[in-house]
Amino acid sequence: MKKIIAIGSDHAGFGYKSAVIDHLQKNGYEVKDHGTFSEASCDYPDYAHAVANAVEKSDAWMGILICGSANGVAITANKHQGVRAAICWETEIAKLARQHNDANIICIPARFVGTELALNMVDLFLSTEFEGGRHLNRVQKIKL
């Protein structure tokens, strides 16, 4: 059974999104693309909400959001219950977001990382398990 990954971006992340989708599909993942579908200027919340909804409702195992700084998509996605969206700009941050925070959406700042680094972060994010233990109590305290 394939693990479904929800992905979305604004216009600044569109090129990266295409590269990530190709990479994931080559590695056996099923990808649900929530847009945008061009480099035309658009509003990042539209796509961040769509990806976060998919993760929140368990229609997707994990999510990937890409915009210029990753701040807007992360802020938007984290409004959803059960979503823990983490901005990642290097591989160690991507790994720790999973290990310590049980993050389920990686947010990538397209204007600040290269494509190869973005792909490496996605791979590490998707392959790293949550450690639980002392981190579980902390993650449980995130809920309102």
Active site residues: 67, 100
Instruction: Number of helices (H) and strands (E) in the chain: give both, helices first.
Output: 6, 5
Amino acid at 48: A
Bridge partners of 106?
64, 86
Question: How far is it, in rounded angstroms, from Cα 130 to Cα 72?
Answer: 25
